[in-house]
Chains A and B, each alone.
Chain A
Amino acid sequence: MSAWERFVETFFKPAMLAQYWPDILKGVLVTVQIAAAVVLTGLTLGLLLASLRAYRILPINWLIVVFVDVFRALPPLVAILLIYFGLPSVGISLPSFVVLWLVLSLVLAAFAEEIFWAGITSTPKGQWEAARSTGLTFSATLTHVVLPQAIRLGVPPLTNRTIAITKNTALGTVIGVGEILNQATTAQSFTGNATPLMMGAIAYVALFVPVVALGRWIETRFAWRRV
């Protein structure tokens, strides 16, 4: 057998490709669902926290800062293991996909809060004053004047962060969430062949390359023009 044939046999065995693509596809669906849920809840929570922080209620702001700092410093895998293996012994059993969704949402919320908050604080004071003097309330100023600008300003940094965090759905394999990597390693342990792993890697790349490319585009499209 030539080296090339051996390579194909090891990483792209046709019989395995045919046998396992439905499993990998199932994994793709799980990955997409969890990633979408994480993006939705994480960004929403981050925006809510940043808006709440704008009211400058001291004890609440302290809590938000602590939350943000903790989830920026804590590796997500640590939080995942802690919640998944720890909570059942105090009587709370969460399904593994819920644990994954919860942890990644909190991590994304922490980063999103920081980014939106930076946008809120960078809005010139004059805009607040102008809006308030036209009779808008504080909340109306926040939602109609400040947040639209803060969100736009936050798009480029948020895009990359969001992509990086949604890729962490692969961590779910450690607690048995049936995402792509989990399907691939399971299949690989049955077959004793690296083809399913390769399929998993390709599925991830196929899924995320368009997202990364889109991120690149958004970054240039939304970049704040420097004077």
Chain B
Amino acid sequence: MISLLTIVIGFSVIVFFPTFSDAQSASKTFVTHSGAVVQTSGEILDPLYTVSTVDFDPMEYLRDFNYGDISQLSDGTTVREFTIIAEDDKIMEVSPGVFYNVWTFNGTVPGPTIRATEGDLLKIKFINNGSKEHTMHFHGIHPAGMDGVFEPVGGNGGQFVYEFEAGPVGVHPYHCHVMPLEEHIVHGLYGVFIVDPKEKRPPADEMVMVLNGLDTDFDTENNFYAANTIPFYYQHHPIQIDTDELIRVYVVNMVEFDPINNFHLHGNLYKYYPTGTDLVPSFYTDMITLSQTERGIMEFQYDFPGKYLFHAHKVEFSEKGWVGIFLVSDSIEKSVQEIDYGTK
């Protein structure tokens, strides 16, 4: 009887012991979704609110437009030359602590935003430094041989020059078109191609948002969603804009696996130009639905300062990172006319 009791008590102590042993070290605090402050003696796993340094800076990408090296043909046509290098061996920290093999154009996901005016001649020198075959396939109008589908570019330094006239006006994606296509896209081989109309759009604070997802465990379901790759980034690094200033967002949906994505703006509505091909808006709304590679231009301005969310109203996506904040400040003196835009 006594020995049995001893055994039972002994085992209870073994089972209990871990509970006692973690009272130690200085405690840290973090804030939950609902605002509660929680203390812990351990470490914090917080992909949402802590400021973390990331390899890729979505804030820099947001307003970064590449106009290429510019020259003129004898007939006055503007020629824009770009060099795009593909790689497929980079391991990037995509969310705090999560490392994922990204395939990149010029080292980033998304690749650089390529911008031209309708009618410009584009010469895009493509170098494939990856280990697999890759291409660049632009959405838009171009000859069959420039389509980046039947001309795979070999890895380890293979080259190809894509040459075509910029058009039509609008916002388009470009992406690798090598099979298996889904794999090449979801690893990050895509970017945005903007064709401005010759008569120019009105001046505005312009930005690019690529809506994308990351399937880090390869189960054909996205583990993360984001505007510009890094989950929750614009939530803890709000995008600063001014009241009464025209904001123009070039939005491109590159999410795979899920059939749709969407974009909801708080405290405001926007004019929406599907694919950006028309200069007259089709909708005035706070919610658009986007299928794969569906894209468009959104224009809006805020009357009141403050913090405004923008996010997928497919809330699953926003709870996995596709959510951000516009921080609107009162700025009466700043003139929108000063903002440089268009050709360099």
B is bound to A: no
- Which residues of B are at the interface with A, using a C-beta cutoff of 8 A? none
